């Protein structure tokens, strides 16, 4: 099952989530197991499997990193289960600095301002890597696809930073 075809959208990193959600509801209505309650056991099982596949497709397309990994795998570059590390020393240095900054947020004189500034940095990185990724995935060049794989790895770092920032915010402001 090809996810973009399933949701009747063009293969593109930049997608319209409203369109996907609309198609998802239509697809789920058509295959929902309750609609097959009086069907044979085999048809019931197929309905459950179809509903699960549609759910998997939705979760993949909705998440930018999963969507990019899926697009690369469709191009023959599967990095979803790999353990390859990023070899960009400037990026790795930047990540170390961001991690140090993240650790210092809890002790900042003005945590609200420090968190807002850090969040702005993360949003900028997300925007930058996502923009580059969209162009790389749209390319017909295998070197660009390898560069896209590196940008996916970078986005994963950014998403981890975002998750850790949320954890810090929760610990600071939920007391």
135-166, pLDDT tens digit by residue?
Answer: 999 999 999 999 999 999 999 999 999 999 99
pLDDT value at position 175?
57
Question: For the chain, which residues make up each domain, given as ranges?
Answer: 3-62, 89-173
- Residue 45: both structure tokens together: 């099982």
Determine the Cα–Cα distance for residues 46 and 168; give it in Å rounded to an integer: 44
Q: Give CA–CA dist 117/152, Å, rounded.
A: 24
Nearest to 60 by CA among 127, 11, 116, 106: 11
Give the pLDDT score at 148.
Answer: 95
Average pLDDT over residues 30-36: 80
Domain 89-173 has CATH 3.40.50.2300: no
Tell me what percent of the chain is helix, strand and coil, each rounded to the nearest 5. Answer: 75, 0, 25
Q: Please state, as a whole number, how many other Cβ atoms lie within 10 Å of the Cβ of residue 69.
A: 23
Is the pTM higher than 0.75?
yes
- What CATH architecture applies to the domain 3-62? Orthogonal Bundle (1.10)
């Amino acid at each position: 099952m090809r996810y973009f075809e399933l949701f009747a959208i063009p293969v593109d990193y930049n997608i319209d989530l409203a369109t996907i959600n609309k198609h998802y509801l239509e697809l789920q209505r058509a295959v929902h197991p309750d609609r097959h309650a009086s069907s044979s056991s085999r048809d019931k099982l197929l309905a459950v499997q179809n509903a699960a596949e549609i759910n998997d497709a939705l979760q993949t397309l909705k998440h930018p990193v999963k969507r990019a990994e899926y697009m690369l795998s469709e191009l023959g570059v599967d990095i979803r289960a790999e353990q390859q590390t990023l070899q960009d020393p400037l990026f790795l240095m930047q990540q170390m600095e961001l991690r140090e900054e993240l650790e210092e947020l809890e002790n900042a004189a003005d945590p609200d301002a420090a968190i807002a500034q850090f969040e702005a940095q993360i949003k900028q990185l997300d925007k930058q890597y996502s923009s580059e990724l969209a162009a790389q995935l749209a390319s017909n060049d295998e070197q660009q696809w390898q560069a896209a794989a590196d940008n996916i790895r970078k986005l994963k770092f950014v998403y981890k930073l975002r998750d850790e920032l949320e954890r810090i915010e929760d610990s600071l402001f939920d007391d």
